[in-house]
Amino acid sequence: MGTVTAVQSMRRGVIATGWTGHDMTVVNSADLDREGGDLSPDDGQTLYAYSAVTDGASDLDPDVVTMAAVAPGGWPVETVDPDTGETIPAEVRLDVWPERLDVTAMVDLGDGETVPCVVPHSLRPLLVDGVREDGAGETVTATRVSGVWTVADVPGKRAVIEGTTIATPSLTSVPRTQITGSTLEVVRSDGEDGEVVTTRLGGEDEDQLLIYGADGELAAGMSSDGIITGDSLDVRSDVSVAGASLLQMIADRPQGIIAAHRFPARTPDVGTTETATVDLAFTAKPGRLYRFRVDGNFRASDSVRPTLRFRVSQGGDDGSAAAQPTVSSPQIGLSTVVGPTAGLIEARGSMEYTLITPATDPVRQIRVLLTIQGNSTSNAVFVYDSTEFTVSDDGALYSGTFNDGNSGASIVQTWTKTYPLSWVYLWRNGSGQRGVTTPQQGYATRALGVGHPGGQWYTMVGWPTQMQTDLTGAQSIANIQFYLNCYDTMNSGFIPRISFHANTSNPSTPTGVAPYDSNWVTKGAQGWMNIRADRIANIANGTWKGLTFGLNVGQDLNYAGCFSMLDPSGMSFRVTYTK
């Protein structure tokens, strides 16, 4: 039995005193593997391989290590002291790598003798480095193994890893995971010569989860009280708030104006014959409240009184379309606009009708017709072009005005349509090609962004003329999307650099304007991505006719990615618009 007075950890290695050709002279090569290995002067950042070790002819002669390569440029060489003329050896400490530690405990055996004892791996967590104060050292048993004193046991000591920081694979490696106190961190390179903490879990005072970008700026986090911080939130499935579905809560809210028409010109003169003017179609859902409203100016001669009516038709329970309503369709609303009793009149009037759909009704299409009729055969009445006819879903979240020139049999409704690629072309280092077929089943095109070590890649695609035709004259465009299936990247994902072009077929060189960086796309992710809202106008008016990927990003690996633009049905663009 004995008492530990100090514990010291030391890496195995050698002191190099010279390196000529493939021969390195060292002081005491006992720590080296005679069959070869690696040596490092800087914690594994630089490795020098060796293949053999030769002992010196005597204890006074240096040992020789046969290196795989000659000395690198700038390797230290011996110098001569100008004052004394003595030779100063160029000593360089080289550690065996991967790291091998020898832990030695100084043990007082109680008889006035203190001996160095090797600490085996199993007992190292119990004996941390450092000098013990008098009377505070651990009690150990030590035995001689093959002539070497070795710690055999630490009686009564619980196995606890103690230390300021625990890191794997090492405190100087990146990336690495390290534990300091009550905090676990992931440390990565900042892309230059420094390090940055990218993930932090725990904390000194309270638990928190923080994720940082390579620039050290906070990207997302969650505090111990459940508060989430981030620039955006991408949820793959439904979100619940206090036990209720957030998507359902949004769906239950008023949707605002869902169909509308603004008269682009006055209607024909109408006498006593009821005349259809315009009808609107929309999808009615169970348990919703819908309001039909016409509001505008009416002009009549003499004492004619304009009478407005709403007439309705509805589709089937199977989702079939509603038939176009006529003046013989069921009437659901009526209003008479009263003006002066004589002379030319211009009156502003309105009519509103509310429909509450039963909660048990299926989803079905509804078409509502607006008609006008006068009460005199000798005089006429008509509706001014400033009149508007709208259908709203339990609210009016949209405050603008629709104007599509719709009249008569044409109906206004919201559409969601998908479209295929019109054409696709790729460039690699300035050389064009029509496409790269990949081994993956179902991927017809391959687009590799800029930053790949093999060269700079760009991709241009065009949408079909039918998509442009559908968007022309749209009252509103909710979104324009493209499909992206990311199946390979240089990092864990990539950033699609999006720009736009006005080409109907591939040009000789890649072009693009109005660029922006889309959200980070993780390798393996797939789905529809929105084109920025402030770019939609130039798509709708025909200025732009397709997308350019990866233009002007250099060879940045964050922008490199292989992807397909085909969804499972072979479509590449999706548009939701009202027209």
Q: Which range is least confidently modeled, 101-110, 247-256, 433-442?
A: 433-442
Mean predicted confidence (pLDDT) in 454-462: 75
Name the 3-class secondary structure at 517: strand
CA 58 to chain centre: 66
Helix (H) or strand (E) holding 141: strand 139-145
Kindly tell me the sign of the dihedral angle through the C-alpha atoms of 25, 31, 37, 43.
Answer: negative
Strands 289-300 and 275-284: unpaired
**DSSP of 550-568:** STT--S-GGG-EEEE---T
Q: Are 438 and 548 in contact (CB under 8 A)?
A: no
How many other β-carbons are positioned within 10 Å of the β-carbon of residue 554? 9
Kindly report, residue by residue over 275-292, the tens digit of the pLDDT: 888 888 888 877 778 888
60: left (phi over 0), alpha (psi -120 to 50) or beta: alpha
**For the chain, percent of residues with pLDDT exceeding 70:** 85
Confidence band (pLDDT; 50, 70, 90) for 400?
very low
Q: Are 143 and 2 in contact (CB under 8 A)?
A: no
Residue 343 has pLDDT above 70, yes or no: no
Residue 575 has pLDDT above 90, yes or no: yes
Structure tokens given for 520: 């980070």
Name the 3-class secondary structure at 307: strand
The residue with greater pLDDT, 154 or 445, is: 154
Residue 338 has pLDDT above 80, yes or no: no
- The CA distance from 64 to 17, in Å, is 10
**For the chain, percent of residues with pLDDT exceeding 90:** 14
The residue with greater pLDDT, 448 or 19, is: 19
Diameter over CA atoms, the chain = 134
Q: Specify the residue for token string 């329970």.
A: 317
Residue 355 has pLDDT above 90, yes or no: no
Residue 553 has pLDDT above 90, yes or no: no
CA 497 to chain centre: 13
Residue 537 amino acid letter: A
Kindly report, residue by residue over 479-518, the tens digit of the pLDDT: 999 998 887 777 888 888 999 999 998 888 888 999 999 9
Residue 126 has pLDDT above 50, yes or no: yes
CA 353 to chain centre: 46
Residue 412 has pLDDT above 90, yes or no: no
Kindly report, residue by residue over 366-390, the tens digit of the pLDDT: 888 888 888 766 667 777 777 788 8
Kindly report, residue by residue over 515-548, the tens digit of the pLDDT: 999 989 998 889 999 999 899 999 999 999 999 9
Mean predicted confidence (pLDDT) in 439-450: 42
Of 79, 70, 64, 5, nearest to 32 by C-alpha is 64
Confidence band (pLDDT; 50, 70, 90) for 407?
very low
Annotate 254-263 with b (16+ C-beta within 10 A) or e (fewer). ebebbbbbbb
Mean predicted confidence (pLDDT) in 55-60: 85
Report the mean per-residue pLDDT for the chain: 80
Mean predicted confidence (pLDDT) in 164-168: 68
- The CA distance from 270 to 400, in Å, is 29
